[in-house]
Amino acid sequence: MRRNLNYGFLLGGMNMDEKKLINEKNIRLDGRKLGELRPIKIEAGVLNRADGSAYIEWGGNKVLAAVYGPIEAKPRHIQNPTKAIIDCRYNMAAFSVGERKRPGPGRRSIEISKVMSEALEYVVFTEKFPRAKIDVYIEVLQASAGTRCAGLTAASVALADAGIPMIDLLPACAVGKVEGQVVLDLDKEEDNFGEADIPLSVVPRTNEIVLLQMDGQLTIKEFEKCMEMGMNACKDIYELQKAALKERYAVFTEE
């Protein structure tokens, strides 16, 4: 989310007029090219007590996803007789950000939990589990912009790890505009001082968009470029998700 543009002091005590986020060679502050992702590591099956789990490190983000279910939804009045409910809870640990975050759900985490639940509901074959509930917990241990994308990427791996039938995994990534340029996977400074930020998630098999939010301003042309860049990045992230599950499965068969 873009925050107050006058917070230049956050960038190493320099004013934003003095410090550029992208240099004349189109290289970003952390050394990345405009269309380059931060390093991503995904591990599936990291928690013994959950039915499915995944851990993701994405740039400075560290996020755990855990799945419980399907179990009978309780109290009974919340049950849907035709399909399972996906209840996704995104939570930021108090120590996950620079300034201690007040524990508990705020407006932001409620909104993120809702858009994530809806995206996951689209890919899970919920009609196979009437009256059931599938809990998906996303715990952000360390945040550095793009946590909803990292969380959703990990959540779909955790669902697959739990053996829950799905149309496909859900890779997610943010794309946006910084100093007039369309860039992929905004880091913390770019998120704070950039002109636009668009988290998106795509079903790779069908190319359908299941999460799309936008903060900032873009021309139609820039928006189209963002979409292309984001959709391509989701394909790369999808490969990492599949590799994490394959690795998990290999260990499982060895056991």
Maximum separation of any 2 CA atoms in the chain, in Å: 61
Q: Residue 62 gets which letter from DSSP?
A: E
**Residue closer to ligand CDP (CB basis): 58 or 129:** 58
Q: What burial class does residue 167 get, using C-beta atoms within 10 Å of its C-beta: 0-12 exposed, 13-18 middle, 19+ buried?
A: middle
* 144 binds ligand CDP, rule: CB under 6 A: yes
* 133 binds ligand CDP, rule: CB under 6 A: no
CA distance 20 to 23: 6
Take residue 155 and report the two structure tokens written for it: 């959540």
* 191 binds ligand CDP, rule: CB under 6 A: yes
Q: Segment 199-228, which members bind ligand CDP (CB under 6 A)?
A: 199
- Give the binding range for ligand CDP (CB under 6 A) out of 25-33, 46-54, 143-151, 225-233: 143-151
Shortest Cβ 147–ligand CDP spacing (Å): 3
H/E element, 227: helix 220-254
How far, rounded to the nearest angstrom, does the alpha carbon of residue 241 sit from its chain's CA centroid? 12
Shortest Cβ 40–ligand CDP spacing (Å): 15
**Residue closer to ligand CDP (CB basis): 108 or 114:** 108
* 248 binds ligand CDP, rule: CB under 6 A: no
* 97 binds ligand CDP, rule: CB under 6 A: yes
Rg (CA), the chain: 19
- Contacts with 12 (C-beta within 8 Å, 6 or more apart), sequence order: 19
CA distance 243 to 246: 5
Shortest Cβ 132–ligand CDP spacing (Å): 28
Out of 32, 38, 101, 248, the only residue in the binding site for ligand CDP (CB under 6 A) is 101
Out of 1, 94, 243, 250, the only residue in the binding site for ligand CDP (CB under 6 A) is 1
* Strand-strand pairing, 85-92 and 132-142: parallel
* 109 binds ligand CDP, rule: CB under 6 A: no
* 143 binds ligand CDP, rule: CB under 6 A: yes
Name the 3-class secondary structure at 4: coil
Residues that bind ligand CDP (CB under 6 A): 1, 97, 101, 108, 143-148, 188, 191, 199
